[in-house]
A and B are shown apart, each in its own frame.
Chain A
Amino acid sequence: EAGVVQSPRYKIIEKKQPVAFWCNPISGHNTLYWYRQNLGQGPELLIRYENEEAVDDSQLPKDRFSAERLKGVDSTLKIQPAELGDSAVYLCASSITTGQHQETQYFGPGTRLLVL
């Protein structure tokens, strides 16, 4: 079974440029998460989708970050414009959520972003 797929694996851009990350979750997983992991820290949730609905985006910096999951499967996270402080690893994860019960989250390899 294929795991969570993310692309690109690495991205280097100059500040003020736009950037986009793509994630394809495990087949059948209705919940998708985007995390940001700064160097030396644990992942922090940016946004959580249940199917195509963003049910928790309270930590997403909405002035420059946007995300979509139009068909409830793969998802795109965008930053426009990027700032130096956005340099981090962006992780995508997926899980099965039924009612109030959350199953294990499975993580992709991440996209390592460097903003110069």
Chain B
Amino acid sequence: AQSVTQLDSQVPVFEEAPVELRCNYSSSVSVYLFWYVQYPNQGLQLLLKYLSGSTLVKGINGFEAEFNKSQTSFHLRKPSVHISDTAEYFCAVTGPHDMRFGAGTRLTVKP
């Protein structure tokens, strides 16, 4: 079965600074990788996904992530964050039938 580890539970950052949210996965089979964002009192919204092809994936709201098979990582990055990016971010991995989520990283953008 696959699993996901999000290495940071909380990431505080100042507005307009770059940010990286780290995600490592383990799986014995080929996987698909996702990043979701959850704003307070809302469901999960898809930011981006890696299915195949280019290892650099661009998503909504200026986010991007890079799939690194040798390091089994799928870190999320944004070059300049805004106050509105404050939210919980979840990395997820799917195998043939199920999706496993990390515990989440709370991104707090300060003015």
Taking Cβ atoms with an 8 Å cutoff, the residues of A that contact B are: 4, 6, 33, 40-45, 48, 55-56, 91, 93, 100, 102, 104-110, 112
Would you call B103 and A56 a contact (CB within 8 A)? no
How many pairs, one residue from A and one from B, have CB atoms within 8 Å of each other in the complex?
50
Taking Cβ atoms with an 8 Å cutoff, the residues of B that contact A are: 4, 32, 34, 36, 41-46, 49, 90, 92, 94, 96-99, 101-104
Q: A42-B4, A42-B92 are in contact. List 6 more A-B contacts (CB 8 A).
A: A40-B103, A40-B104, A42-B104, A91-B43, A109-B42, A109-B43
The 6 closest A-B pairs by CB, nearest first: A42-B101, A107-B43, A107-B44, A109-B43, A100-B96, A110-B43
Please, which residue of chain B has its CB at the minimum distance from the CB of A41? B103
Contacts of A109 in B (CB 8 A): 41-43
Would you call A91 and B99 a contact (CB within 8 A)? no
Would you call A48 and B98 a contact (CB within 8 A)? yes
Contacts of B103 in A (CB 8 A): 40-42
Q: Can you name 27 A-B residue pairings with CB atoms under 8 Å?
A: A40-B103, A41-B104, A42-B90, A42-B92, A42-B103, A43-B44, A43-B90, A43-B101, A44-B101, A48-B97, A48-B98, A56-B98, A91-B43, A91-B44, A100-B96, A102-B32, A102-B94, A102-B96, A104-B34, A104-B49, A107-B36, A107-B44, A107-B45, A108-B43, A109-B43, A110-B43, A112-B41
